[in-house]
Amino acid sequence: SAGCIYYLITPSDFSSLHMLDGDEVWFFLEGGKAEQITYSEGGSIKKRILDSKNRNCLVKKGEWQATRLIEGEYALFCTIMSPHYEDKLYHAPERRLLELCPELKEYTHL
């Protein structure tokens, strides 16, 4: 089964760095421009823009991800996961990851 979540990002709140145990598809619905980063350990940070011209993307299982607003007052997204999201599928970064790649810290609420 799959599940859908609506996610609102504002200048003061964003999707902090995390990893999921399943693929997640993001759909931009409306609002300003957002930056999404993904990171696989041992790799480099990849950045993409989500907006009215770039409406969807796939974040693969096991990739670290974060999304924040870079233009406008808000951005509204819909995300879909299969299996549906459960808290046990969510992983916050450990200090070791942030030591390995210090640039990731700016994408956390730490």
Give the model confidence (pLDDT) of 81-96 as tens digits: 988 899 999 999 999 9
Q: What whole-number distance in Å separates Cα of residue 24 and Cα of residue 44?
A: 20
What's the order of all strands across the beta sheet hosting 24-31? Answer: 3-9, 75-81, 24-31, 56-59
Q: What whole-number distance in Å separates Cα of residue 108 and Cα of residue 3?
A: 25
Contact present, 54 and 102 (Cβ < 8 Å): no
User: Could you report the per-residue pLDDT of 27-40, keeping only the tens digit for each?
Assistant: 999 999 999 999 99
* Longest CA pairwise span in the chain (Å): 36
- Whether the full predicted model's pTM is greater than 0.85, yes or no, is yes
